Chain A
Amino acid sequence: MLEKRLVLVSGKGGVGKSAVSAGLALLAQRRGLRVLAMEMGSPGGLSAHFGTGPLEFEPRELRPGLHAMQMVRSDALLEYLALQLNIKGLTRFGPLARAFDALATTAPGIREIITVGKAIWEVREDRWDIVIADAPPTGQIGSFLRAPVTISELVPSGRIRVQAEIMQEILRDQTVTGLILVTLPEELPATETAETITWLAKENVVATPIVMANRILDELADPGTPPGPVGEAAQLHRALWSEQQVWLDRVPPDHLLPYLHGLLTPGEVAARMADEFELIT
């Protein structure tokens, strides 16, 4: 994954998508890459895992080689209009910017293409070796990944359409773009992951995803159940372990990430994730 230029990390809400994004960014940084970590969706997840305050649209260097930013639609829109479409002299509150902003909230695909477009724009910059995006959850990822196609279908001509076609090529290019789907071995996340994989195969809008199953328990070596908390904890562990096997069989992941017991801060979680990735990459 670290050989790609753009890695999108998605998954059902609550499965550890931000932790995986942050862990991957930390590993890339350890390996000496120039990294941009981008929070695409609602603020909070990624910045918590880096242990920084709220992120801004302007990338901030968190440690040598690692920058992080928060996607802000209105800022991205202005940048897109100015840099990609060559419309100069816009201010955030100017009439044209406001018209576009209103259009972006209403017209389908535009909000999404601005978000995806920002990530792709950064990939084409030489500032970064890799852009790692904590992408929207699987429930919404389809409309983001499909946005360039949606725009091409709706917009008959014009510069936006040309941009949309370039974006499609970059997203489909296996050597440039990677998609990680984070999941849990539980019914709802596993089902949603399977549905997302099917959808992606059908739509062919992005490189083939790799699946990472999070919070994996290991099998308990001792079958005993002594009285008291020792036995109770063993029983719970075994029951959860067997339940996990059912879903691991149905939606086989490419990588397993361990259950992290008793870790307090998201920062610790991200660092442990990076250690895990060290082993598999």
Chain B
Amino acid sequence: MTRTLLITGAGGVGKTTVAAALGVRAARSGLRTLVVTVDPARRLATALGVEDLGNEPQPHAGEPNLWAAMLDSTASWRAVAMRHADPDVATRLADNDFFKAASEHFPASQAYAAADQAATFVQAMAWDLVIVDTPPSGGGIDFFAAPAQMADLVGGRLLRWLTGGPLPGRRTFYNLAAKPVLRIADSVLGSDLLERVAEFLLDLRTTYDGVAQRGREIERVLSSSSIFVVTTSDPAPVREAIKFYRDLPGLAASPAAVVFNRILPEEWADSNAPPGTSLALEQNLARWSAETVRQRDTREEFSSRYGARIATIPWSSSPPTDLDGLGRLLDESKELPWAEVGIS
């Protein structure tokens, strides 16, 4: 049985570092662990040994039980659609301007590709624990919504409206395109634009069954995963974290914890500089003390309003650059739900 842990949260909060640190801990406790990251900072990529790696999980040279994989950030639903398309459809799609442009710009594209790859690793049953550092778009919510969005896109809202349900033949569509409404649209959009969009959608729609089925598999993996939401105490990432308590229900399980990263020592909150301290150092303590108070208030409000389990990780003045540093990062953490990771 492979346990899955999804590390979500806004960008820039140290999500990847937390995912890697949990991975090192789990590996050292004897669990065969795969850490899947997206776009890690260079130093962290080096520490994990994923600097030059592609999608394939690689065993870590210095740490038995630890594997790492980096999700290809350029992977898109282009590849997904192609995988589920017949050869001649695939060729037509590859030549279609809209498919090219849409596969570059569809916002949930990266989230979907990441969810798909992560699910593949979980289904491989080769690890005790798969830790997934989710892409930051939409604070990670996109990751959960992506399979349904993908099916919706391929299912073709425009096409369904035009044709009223079942997969139409090409002839049916062009008869409908003679509707006055569509002639107006054509005059606005320029000649044959709608036709080319329709062709793209028709071809894409033939992939619907495959894509939808895969989407359901991915959703099953996601909904049985544990979730840690990582945030700092800043308002923007906290707003993203709140979404996991407000918007997630239905898409996945409730988060096991919200992990506040970069936490200042509690005792700074009520500290005053002793007599004889220079003005510079006294003022410095005062501002970091104010920051400590703000952090504490933020956590208390989060906990009382959303009933969340709050875990904390101290603000380390030097970001970890190697495996031992990652292993130590969580030494001073508090309230992390280790049981969810499979560590007693």
Contact = CB atoms under 8 A, between A and B. Distances in A.
Contacts of A261: 287-288, 290-291, 294
A161 B237 CA distance: 39
B285 A139 contact: no
Nearest to B160: A102
A108 B105 contact: yes
Interface residues of A, number: 68
Interface string B164-200: 0000000000000000011011011111111001000
Contacts, number: 178
Contacts of A12: 11-12
Contacts of B107: 140
A224 B278 contact: yes
Given A106-B157, A109-B101, A158 B187 contact: yes
Nearest to B287: A261
A175 interface: no
Contacts of B285: 229-230, 233-234
A58 B209 CA distance: 41
B188 A160 contact: yes
A95 B288 CA distance: 58
A230 B105 CA distance: 50
Interface stretch (B52-60, B266-274, B304-312): B266-274
A156 B188 CA distance: 11
- Please report whether the interface of chain B is mostly helix, strand, loop or mixed according to DSSP: helix
B interface, size bucket: 35 or more
B190 A229 contact: no
B104 A108 contact: yes
A143 interface: yes
B97 A154 contact: yes
Most buried by A among B105, B157, B190, B265: B105
Shortest beta-carbon contacts, A-B, top 10: A262-B290, A158-B190, A239-B317, A102-B158, A108-B101, A261-B287, A229-B271, A222-B280, A221-B280, A233-B288
Interface of A: 12-16, 18, 42, 44-45, 48, 81, 85, 87, 95-96, 98-100, 102-103, 105-109, 112, 139-140, 143, 150, 153-161, 184, 186-189, 220-222, 224, 226, 228-237, 239-240, 243, 261-264, 266, 269
5 contacts: A13-B12, A156-B191, A157-B191, A224-B278, A233-B281
Interface of B: 10-13, 39, 41-43, 97-98, 101-102, 104-107, 136-138, 153, 156-158, 161-162, 181-182, 184-185, 187-194, 197, 201, 234-237, 239, 264-265, 267-268, 271, 273-274, 277-278, 280-282, 284-285, 287-291, 293-294, 297, 315, 317-319
